[in-house]
Amino acid sequence: MSQSNLPSEGPKGKPTVNNLALYSVGAEVGCATIIIVVVALFVGIGLDTLLGTKPVFIILFTLGSAPLSIYITYKLAMRAVKSATPQVPGTKQAKPVEEEEKSE
């Protein structure tokens, strides 16, 4: 196995800034997903209580939160890739987020 596949570490085994940025993106995506699901759950509970339907809106909003979570995860990841891409002065750089949006 080659050494280039191992995560890069700074002096004394401390993670580099790039690794910390990846951890930050993972935490951001995880928190966003949890918030979306919890909000959907409480909205479903509120609507079921208000309208007198037992589990209909809870199930509807909880299942509906999954595609929203995937979309938000995609957007957060693309934003992280865009900001993590090194920019060399004097060269024209392709924008991955805009290319992906054009294909949709």
Per-residue pLDDT reduced to its tens digit, 15-55? 676 777 788 888 999 999 999 999 999 999 999 999 999 89
15 vs 82, more confident: 82
Q: CB within 8 A of 33, min separation 6: which ones?
A: 69, 72, 73
Handedness of CA 16, 17, 20, 22 (dihedral sign): negative
Distance CA 11, CA 54 (A): 58
What three-state secondary structure class fits 91? Answer: coil
Per-residue pLDDT tens over the stretch 68-78: 999 999 999 89
pLDDT of residue 88: 62
Contact between 36 and 68 (Cβ < 8 Å): yes
Record the tokens describing residue 4, joined without a space.
Answer: 């280039």
Query: Is residue 8 over pLDDT 70?
Result: no
Determine if the pTM surpasses 0.85: no
